[in-house]
Structure formats: structure tokens, C-alpha cells
Structure 1
Amino acid sequence: MVKPTALVLALLATGAGAFAPASSVQRYPSKMQSSSEVVEDETADADPYDAYDTSFKQKKVATRDIKKGSGYTVGESEGQLLKIKYSAKLMDSKYTADLKAFNVEGMVFKTGEQRCLPGLEEGIKGMQLGGVRKIRVPPNKGYGDQWYRGIVPPSSHLEFEAELIDIAQNPVEEFKLKLEDFGYDRAAGATLCLAYLAVSPFIGNGGFANN
């Protein structure tokens, strides 16, 4: 039979710290754990625009404001009639970097009607009147994996520089914006043509002369 005194001496020899309460044991993060935490923090804090990756992994649109606007904001309501000006270029491509055919001085469209490239429409959300923004668009929100009009290669990443020129806030402003987009001269010509078509049956039958 082991004496109590011998048992105590054995415990002291093997290290009684093994039986210490968990709260009294100090724990220090290893260097590996610290490094991983730093990497995660850097990734979380990275600017999405600067961190944009021109590979198949990139699925999100990234933006950077060049000039802040004021007043009306894109996305305040659904179905807004907008007018934007933009240019575009290819990112990280062996093809021509500048897309001259995409230098658009004025494009009028209503949000939600899919008349604008999905990534471009997403990228202008939050812009205010007069604002200028750079928008990087991945293929899944651009032209996909097919050639577009023989200009944009498959799986292209695009960078737009867009300016918000106008936002219509009521039916009167919408009419003015559409009229401006159509062209006042063309509108006047179309009005004259319609007027002529309306009265031509009377003229052809001598209606005015008979009256």
C-alpha cells in the first residue's frame, strides 16, 4: 500500500501544474494563428476596386467615384428614366484596350427594363446627378463567354467610366428627356408628317376646296 506521503512526492515530481484550473493557465496565440488573422483582416479591408481580379473568380462589380454628384440619386425609386454618358475599355486583354464604339455621349433608358448592361446598371446605383464613376464589370454581369458584335471578346472584364447627366423625377421631366433624346428637329419633322397624314384625305378628295 502506497503511503500518502509517497503519493504527494510522486505528484510533485511529475508536475502538479497538470491539475491546475483552466482559468489559471495562460494561453498565447501561435505565430501561425496571428499570421492568418492578419491575412483575413487585410482581405476584409481591401478596396474591392483595387482588389478586382481579372479572372473567372471575379463575380462582383467594383466601383470607384471620381466625382461626387448631388441631388437626385439612382435607385431612390424603381423605373427611373436616366441619361448617362460613358466610355469603356477592356481589362487585361490581348485585344485592343479601348472600345471606341462604346464611347456613348448620351444613353437614355429606364432602370429595370434590361436595356442597359446588367453590370453597368448595377454599378451606377447610388450615383447622384453630375457624378462620375469608374465601374469594373466581370463577364457574368457583362457579355458572358461569347463575342459581342465582333468587338468584345469572350469572357472579357470591362471598365466603364460613367457620368450621370440627368434623372427624370416625374412624367413631365420624362417627356422632356425622351423628347431631347429623340431630337427636337426629328420630333418637329414627325409632327409635320403626322399632321399631313391626318389632312391628306381631305386634300386628295378636294375636301377643302368643296367647303
Structure 2
Amino acid sequence: MRISHKLVAATVFIGSVAAYSLNTSDRRTFLSQTAAASVSLVAAPGVAKADGQDTYSDFITTESGLKYKVTKEGTGAVPEPGQTVKAHYTGWLEGFESPKKFDSSRDRNRPFQFRVGAGQVIRGWDESFGAMAVGERRQIIIPPRLGYGDRGAGGIIPGGATLYFDVELLGLL
């Protein structure tokens, strides 16, 4: 979420106008609280919008609820259903680059292989990789119903978790 200086200035201005009708002591308290709130918008923008809707506003949302953003365009072929792909991935809980990374083929320097659309992976992966071109890299956000649902996985991914992945389609086999 981007907070502009104009938004902060408007917040302070509106607070000043509202404080005009208060007595001196109340006005000082009101203005200092308004200024503190404005600083918190800049210092902690993630808190400014509690529901996080604007955090990923540059992502595309599919009909299923999968969200993605292409970070590197691919130039190769798009896999056919049932075709085996080779990919790199890193997965997080609670957002990209959070300290809650749960797995990474990149860290192992060992690409992962699976058949697209064959149910070998979570539905969010089948959907995303089925629409990617070789060489493409994406950030994808997978809602629970396209991930591990309420059951979670392996004691690492809790039930109801939204999953965040950086994925790259390396090739078709």
C-alpha cells in the first residue's frame, strides 16, 4: 500500500480543522494524536488497511480466486494438460519474503517435476503452471481452497492457510 504525503497532509489538515472548536488543552491532545496517527500510517503502512486489500492490488485475480503477478515474461511453450514440467519454487506463509518460508527448491538447487493438471500438486499450482510459458516467473497467492484447505499439510502448513509462492517454469519434459 502506498501512502502519499498528500494523504498525511490531508489527515493533519482535517484534524486541525476539527480541533479548532476544542479548548486549548483538548486541541493540543487531539492534534498530537492526529499527528501520531499520521506518522503511523507512514511508518507501518501494513496496519493502515487491516484487511490488506491494497497490499496486492497489482496482482491479477482469476475466477477461482488465485492471484498472480508475472515478474518475468516467458518465451517458451505453455504446457498441455498431463505434460511434465520442471519448476523452481519458494513458498511462504504470511506473505512474500516473510520469515515463514516453508519450502524452496531453489534453496536445494533441485527443480521440482510434476504433471500439470494431473492432481499431483495443489490445485493452485495446476492452475498457475497450466497457464505459464517456459521461462516465466510469477508470484502467486493461493487461497486455502486451492491449497491444503482446512487440513493443512505435514504439520508445517496450518489448516486454512493462504500460501505465497514465487514460481518459475524452467522447462517441459
State the TM-score bracket (shorter-chain normalisation). Answer: 0.5 to 0.7
TM-score by length of 1: 0.47
How do 1:38-53 and structure 2 match up within 5 A?
49-50=56-57
The answer for the alignment partner of 2:84 in structure 1 is: 81
- Counterparts of 2:138 and 2:168 in 1: how far apart (Å)? 7
Which residue of the other structure, out of 118, 134, 139, is the alignment partner of 1:129? 134
Deviations 1:9-67 (A, max 9, x none): xxxxxxxxxxxxxxxxxxxxxxxxxxxxxxxxxxxxx9995288xxxxxx610110000
How do 1:118-157 and structure 2 match up within 5 A?
118-157=123-162
- Counterparts of 1:167 and 1:47 in 2: how far apart (Å)? 35
The answer for the alignment partner of 1:188 in structure 2 is: none
- Residue 146 and residue 51 in structure 1: after superposition, are their counterparts in 2 closer, same or farther (change >3 A)? farther
The answer for the alignment partner of 2:122 in structure 1 is: 117
CA contact (8 A) 1:49 1:136 kept: no
The answer for the alignment partner of 2:104 in structure 1 is: 103
TM-score by length of 2: 0.57
- Residue 147 and residue 111 in structure 1: after superposition, are their counterparts in 2 closer, same or farther (change >3 A)? closer
Match status 1:61 vs 2:66: yes
Amino acid at match of 2:141: R
Larger radius of gyration: 1
Unmatched tracts of structure 1, length 5 or more? 1-45, 53-58, 169-211
Deviations 1:85-128 (A, max 9, x none): 10000126xx95211xx202311111222111111121223211
- Counterparts of 1:137 and 1:109 in 2: how far apart (Å)? 18
Unmatched tracts of structure 2, length 5 or more? 1-52
CA contact (8 A) 1:84 1:163 kept: yes
CA RMSD of aligned residues (A): 2.6
Could you list the runs of 4 or more consecutive aligned residues of structure 1 that deviate by over 3 angstroms after TM superposition? Answer: 46-49
CA contact (8 A) 1:48 1:62 kept: no
Q: Paired residues, what number?
A: 111
The answer for the alignment partner of 2:30 in structure 1 is: none
Query: What is the aligned-residue identity percentage?
Result: 28
1:81, distance to aligned residue in structure 2 (A) = 1.2
The answer for the alignment partner of 1:7 in structure 2 is: none
1:167, distance to aligned residue in structure 2 (A) = 0.8
Bigger helix share: 1
- Counterparts of 2:67 and 2:58 in 1: how far apart (Å)? 9
CA contact (8 A) 2:74 2:133 kept: yes
Deviations 1:160-206 (A, max 9, x none): 100111113xxxxxxxxxxxxxxxxxxxxxxxxxxxxxxxxxxxxxx
